[in-house]
Amino acid sequence: MNLNTLTRELIDIPSLTGDEAAVASFLVQYLKRLDYRVELQPVVDGRSNLIATTAGTPSVFLSTHMDTVPTYVPSSEDDKYIYGRGACDAKGIIAGQIVAAETLRAEGTEIGLLFTVDEEAGSLGAKAANDHPLARSCEYLINGEPTDNILATGSKGSLRLRIKTEGRAGHSAYPERGRSAIDILLDVLGDLRNWDWPSSEKFGETTCNIGTINGGTRPNVIAAEAEAELQIRLVTAGTQIKERLELLVAGRAKVEYLSMAEPVDLLAVEGFETAAVRFTTDVPYLTNWGTPLLIGPGSIMDAHTDHERVSKRELTAAVDIYAGLVRTLIARSEQ
């Protein structure tokens, strides 16, 4: 089994969020040829998680997601890196976890694999997986995201929301006859940008990204409607941020909450380099899958970019890291 070849094969199957079926089908066939028991767990609209197990009921699962952000970028490589959409987030991780699982199987260790859909949107796959019967028998879940092969001690939470404002349409030459929804929205967003967000010693600052803004119909028409979508990276409880948001908006806009994941503390293991990470993962939605860990090859700074890549050296090292972590965790549970 060639790790680099498998990574490139996975990258070359487009799997933008919502369209993961082709890569799931490839993995089903690939893992069945390796004699795994493979299940596709329905999630929504024909989309399915993939759960693969060896003999028995594994106490440790390796997990990551099959979907990627737009746009599709085919694979390529040079002496040091593999490039393409999903190289580090998370097709390379899927390949590394499969190779690690095979290493463990050769030693007689039972292992499970969980690959989800929709991580890059609302984690619908993780939410469905949390109800799977195997979840309660899993003691440790090693989730894969690009952490430079550093074991994460925690990850920030996430609050996605939409802010909508309403005005009154009119001719732009007579602004006193209308009321611009865009002006109202800009005032609200300005207050958010100037807000003194909370911080924590472990995770650092809360950050707020205004991702999209839409509104109006023409430059000579006062906008009757406007909206913006935001993503807030949480370092404190989401309910606290929601309460403060409502006070700040003060009735000027409607706030629609799209998803929320709380900050998560993760298991640190002696002998592994550790750090907290700023991004959010499927882990907050997989609470039934035992104690979570988070680690994977590649840099989050390369994820979601046109130059997405993963180091071949890191990818190879990740195989040993995943296998070593599983051995350590199994030994811990047997004590």
The catalytic residue positions are: 119
On the CB side of 215, CA atoms within 13 Å amount to 25
Q: How far apart are CA 27 and CA 153, in angstroms?
A: 30
Whether the upstream peptide bond of residue 276 has omega within 30° of 0, thus cis, is no
Closest CA relative to residue 234, chosen from 268, 270, 203, 194? 203
Report the DSSP beta bridge partners of residue 277. 155
Q: How far apart are CA 231 and CA 206, in angstroms?
A: 11
Closest CA relative to residue 34, chosen from 4, 55, 13, 9? 55
